[in-house]
Amino acid sequence: MMSPALFLLALITLVPFFSIIWMSFNDVSLMGGLAFEFSGLDNWQRVFTDPDIRSSWLISLVYFLATVGLEMVIGTVMALLVYSLTRGSNIIISLLLIPMFIAPVIVGLLGRFMLDPSHGLYAWLLNETGLFDGNILGSVGSAMVAVILMDVWEWTPLVALIVLAGLASVPEDTLEAAEMDGAKYGQKLLYIILPSISNILLVALLIRAMDAIRFFAIIFITTNGGPADSTKIIPIRLYDIAFRFFDLGYAAAVGITMLVFSIMVATAFTKLLKRQETSS
Amino acid sequence: MATLQLNNIVKDFGGTQVIKGVDLEVKDREFVVFVGPSGCGKSTLMRMIAGLESATSGDILIDGERINDVGPADRGLAMVFQSYALYPHMTVEDNMGFSLRLAKVPKAERREKVLAAARILQLEELLDRKPRALSGGQRQRVAIGRAIVRNPSIFLFDEPLSNLDAALRVQMRIELARLHEELDATMIYVTHDQIEAMTMADKIVVLQGGVVEQIGSPMALYHHPRNRFVAGFIGSPKMNFLGVEVRGADAEGVDVVLPGGDCRVPVEANGVSSGDTLTLGVRPEHLTLDDQGPLTGNILVIERLGGATTLYLENADSQWTLVADGDVAHRVHDQVRFSFDPACAHLFNGSGEALPHRHRHPLVAIDRKENRAPSA
């Protein structure tokens, strides 16, 4: 009964999974038809010694910490503000969520348009106010800030939405009890609200972290890793290796390290979540 | 310790008036219970006293000082919530000491105060536990402990026992009464359970639809309800009501027509005259099975409680509940006759107001404290 389904499952997940592992031990060429040439651990040795890969991982880490950190902080503040509204919160939430529904590629295109040195609105504003003069996406440093902010703009609402759901579950009378105990808003936030929603915050963090590791579209469409590889996070590097240099065996090895890293992050989070649950 | 005074308190919620002008005086060290059906405004009234809700108009005075504009933390009150409202991620000790921690009380002094409260409530063993590792009754005690630690001038209890099972509720009721004596503090208690009100209160405030129906000692409410609502609400099982016609009235009382003959109820006539229709009220425990009684009924249901038996009776034009002793041998569908002592009966006029009894019951001035300890 189950065999057709299992067969299909094998076809779309297991076969690619194992073939990519096999690919990572081969020199794969596409010229004159697909050809595998066994190369042992050559690709894996490169993964761990290639300075380009190392710098891409570092850029990824910076990118990861900056985007996820900003999204968590701004998203939480946004949720607290919306939650404190007495009226109109529904329409505000709907408006806040709009960025989330725009495809990342479109966000990238929008960003490119707004930051264009000759006719971009933001480029003009920054130039007029004297804050930044020059090609934003074309300069090391500013390009990284720009792509980070684009990601933050798109995904902060998701964090806000998740945190908002968490806030709704903080019992009103617990907050009132704290108020009667003499807690000011900041103390309520620190001692009651944040500990109560710490699980939800972890979930939001997990979702965003998993996304940030494999993040691709915005950078691909805006800087494509440039200038001077300053925004070349690991997925962009992987794309280059695979589809610009067609070094598919090496790309497979890089892809597997990304997968392992994702699994490690997810495991760490679920462990944290479990610990939270048993302690509270 | 403290007194509380409410002057013409009104509360509007978006155009709906939920509290319609409440006046109340709570004396020092008094145990006052707000009681009434759901939606009568008793919780809102308490929340206004606590400062969690603002009064639309009227004055709230503690020790003679107007505190309408004082924040909840600075009123010197402590509240025990229906859901306990414990801080889930803090231990029992941290829960109880939270207010002291916010007030920057040194750790050693904090611990001392928490321990003192824990001792009163027998919580010493549980100080390191988190709320979710506690039973309902223990959580309740922690919530009370959190209030005690604050050493408030007035304790507020918002239906604190309604989440407990019946046996535990009885036990906590006794514990609260003991606590009131031990702490000797002013306490205000909200409940919809008239048994809690009767057993714990020095003074009961009966509320309905945002209006105070009657304020008085438990015995005053039981023996001298001011109107039909209070008469029906206080006492269990509920008072029996029967429409009756007035035969005559004089200074000695009012004569009413009953199926088995006339009956003289010793109340003030207050302008009632022959031919008027009144409502007769008799509590089930004041009805007695009596083969010569003026009333008859067919037994519909019998509830045997062991010590007492509740009979649900029906006759051509009315239904009655009768509480007899535990040894009644009657069976369902038996026809029985019953009677009552007219001195225990009540008469209500067309607008539901009670005609005042000519004699006050001797126990109406007795409060709960005197019930338990001989007064010095």
Q: Which of A87, A169, A179, A181 to mutate to test binding with chain B, by most B CBs within 10 Å of its CB? A: A181
Q: Is A24 a domain residue?
A: no
The residues pairing with B6 across neighbouring beta strands, listed in sequence order, are: B24, B60
Q: Which of A172, A180, A202 to mutate to test binding with chain B, by most B CBs within 10 Å of its CB? A: A180
Residue B123 is encoded by which pair of tokens? 């919580």
Put simply, the answer to whether B50 touches A180 (Cβ < 8 Å) is: yes
Residue whose entry in the numeric block shows the structure tokens 């099982």: B237
Q: Is A108 a domain residue?
A: yes
Residue B63 is encoded by which pair of tokens? 């020790």
Put simply, the answer to whether A183 touches B81 (Cβ < 8 Å) is: no
Q: Is A33 a domain residue?
A: no
Q: How far is CA B246 from CA B6, B92, B250, B256, B276, in A?
A: 40, 63, 11, 4, 5
B375 confidence band (pLDDT: 50, 70, 90): very low
The size of chain A, in residues, is: 280
Choose the closest CB to B85 out of A173, A187, A280. A173
pLDDT recorded at residue A280: 55
Put simply, the answer to whether B132 touches A179 (Cβ < 8 Å) is: no
Q: Which of B202, B153, B193, B137 is nearest to B50 (CA)?
A: B153
Q: Is A134 a domain residue?
A: yes
Put simply, the answer to whether B103 touches A182 (Cβ < 8 Å) is: yes
Q: Is residue B365 over pLDDT 80?
A: no
Residue whose entry in the numeric block shows the structure tokens 């761990």: A48
Q: How far is CA A9 from CA A2, A201, B58, in A?
A: 11, 33, 72
Q: Is residue B369 over pLDDT 70?
A: no
Put simply, the answer to whether B89 touches A280 (Cβ < 8 Å) is: yes
Write down the ipTM of this complex.
Answer: 0.80
Number of domains in chain A: 1
**One-letter amino acid identity for B260?**
G
B100 vs A118: CA distance, rounded Å: 62
Instruction: Name every chain A residue with its beta carbon within 8 A of the beta carbon of B44.
Output: none
B113 vs B97: CA distance, rounded Å: 8
pLDDT recorded at residue B252: 86
pLDDT recorded at residue B367: 57
B127 vs A137: CA distance, rounded Å: 59
**One-letter amino acid identity for B18?**
V
Q: Is residue A279 over pLDDT 90?
A: no
Three-class SS of residue B116?
Answer: helix
Choose the closest CB to B87 out of A174, A179, A279. A174
* Cβ-based burial of A193 (10 A; exposed 0-12, middle 13-18, buried ≥19): buried
Three-class SS of residue B228?
Answer: helix
Mean pLDDT of B174-201: 89
Q: Is residue A273 over pLDDT 90?
A: no
**Enclosing domain of residue A240:** 51-279
A46 vs B67: CA distance, rounded Å: 75
Q: Tell whether B14 lies on the interface with A, counting CB pairs under 8 A.
A: no
Instruction: Name every chain B residue with its beta carbon within 8 A of the beta carbon of A181.
Output: 73, 98-99, 102, 146, 150
B204 vs A71: CA distance, rounded Å: 55
- Alpha carbon of residue A131 to chain centroid: 28
**A-B interface: how many C-beta pairs under 8 angstroms?**
62
**Domains, chain B, with CATH or none:** 4-231 (3.40.50.300), 232-348 (2.40.50.140)
- Determine the angle formed by the axes of helices A51-84 and A142-168, rounding to 10 degrees: 40
φ/ψ region of A66 (left if φ > 0, alpha if ψ in -120 to 50, else beta) reads alpha
Contact B140, B173 (CB under 8 A): no
pLDDT recorded at residue B211: 92
A190 vs B102: CA distance, rounded Å: 12
B147 vs B24: CA distance, rounded Å: 23
Q: Tell whether B49 lies on the interface with A, counting CB pairs under 8 A.
A: no
Q: What is the CATH number of the domain that holds A223?
A: 1.10.3720.10
pTM score: 0.80
What is the least distance, in Å, from the CA of B217 to any CA of chain A? 30
Q: Is residue A4 over pLDDT 80?
A: yes
Q: Is residue B96 over pLDDT 70?
A: yes
Residue whose entry in the numeric block shows the structure tokens 């929340």: B47
pLDDT recorded at residue B24: 92
Mean pLDDT of A189-197: 90
What is the least distance, in Å, from the CA of B214 to any CA of chain A? 29
Instruction: Name every chain B residue with its beta carbon within 8 A of the beta carbon of A280.
Output: 88-89, 130, 132
Dihedral sign, CA of A6, A9, A13, A19? positive
Surface of A (149-178) touching B: CB under 8 A: 171, 173-174, 176-178
Q: What percent of chain B has pLDDT over 70?
A: 97
Q: What are phi and psi of B8, to 5 degrees?
A: 45, 55
Mean pLDDT of B123-133: 90
Q: Is residue B301 over pLDDT 90?
A: yes
B370 confidence band (pLDDT: 50, 70, 90): low
Q: How far is CA B297 from CA A1, B242, B249, B322, B344, in A?
A: 71, 13, 28, 10, 20
Q: Is A60 a domain residue?
A: yes
Mean pLDDT of A85-111: 88
A34 confidence band (pLDDT: 50, 70, 90): confident
Alpha-carbon dihedral angle through residues B111, B114, B119, B121, given to the nearest 10 degrees: -160
Contact B192, B38 (CB under 8 A): yes
A212 vs B302: CA distance, rounded Å: 71
Q: Tell whether B88 lies on the interface with A, counting CB pairs under 8 A.
A: yes
Put simply, the answer to whether A176 touches B82 (Cβ < 8 Å) is: no
A1 confidence band (pLDDT: 50, 70, 90): low
List, for residues A47-74, the tens digit of each pLDDT value: 888 888 899 999 998 998 999 999 999 9
* Cβ-based burial of A36 (10 A; exposed 0-12, middle 13-18, buried ≥19): middle
Q: What percent of chain A has pLDDT over 90?
A: 24
Three-class SS of residue B215?
Answer: strand
pLDDT recorded at residue B61: 93
Instruction: Name every chain A residue with its beta carbon within 8 A of the beta carbon of B82.
Output: 173
Number of Cβ within a 10 Å radius of residue B40: 23
Q: Is A32 a domain residue?
A: no
* Residue B188: partners with Cβ closer than 8 Å, 6 or more residues away: B4, B26, B32, B33, B34, B46, B49, B154, B155, B156, B157
Q: Is A208 a domain residue?
A: yes
Contact B15, B38 (CB under 8 A): no
What is the spatial order of strands in the sheet that B16-26 belongs to? B16-26, B4-13, B57-62, B65-66
Contact A132, A51 (CB under 8 A): no
Instruction: Name every chain B residue with its beta carbon within 8 A of the beta carbon of A182.
Output: 73-74, 99, 102-103
Q: What percent of chain A has pLDDT over 70?
A: 99
What is the spatial order of strands in the sheet that B335-340 belongs to? B287-289, B335-340, B295-304, B308-315, B318-325
Mean pLDDT of B303-325: 91
B373 confidence band (pLDDT: 50, 70, 90): very low
- Determine the angle formed by the axes of helices A248-279 and A198-213, rounding to 10 degrees: 180
B109 vs B115: CA distance, rounded Å: 10
Q: Is residue B374 over pLDDT 80?
A: no
Q: Is residue B371 over pLDDT 60?
A: no
Number of Cβ within a 10 Å radius of residue A167: 18
Looking at A27-36, B3-12, B282-291, which range is the least confident one?
A27-36
Show the 3-state SS of chain A.
CCHHHHHHHHHHHHHHHHHHHHHCCEEEECCCCCEEEECCCHHHHHHHHCHHHHHHHHHHHHHHHHHHHHHHHHHHHHHHHHHHCCCCHHHHHHHHHHHHHCCHHHHHHHHHHHCCCCCCHHHHHHHHCCCCCCCCCCCCCHHHHHHHHHHHHHHHHHHHHHHHHHHHCCCHHHHHHHHHCCCCHHHHHHHHHHHHCHHHHHHHHHHHHHHHHCCCHHHHHHCCCCCCCCCCCHHHHHHHHHHCCCCHHHHHHHHHHHHHHHHHHHHHHHHHHHHHHHHC
Q: Is residue B8 over pLDDT 50?
A: yes
Q: What percent of chain B has pLDDT over 90?
A: 57
Choose the closest CB to B85 out of A176, A195, A196. A176
Q: Is A119 a domain residue?
A: yes
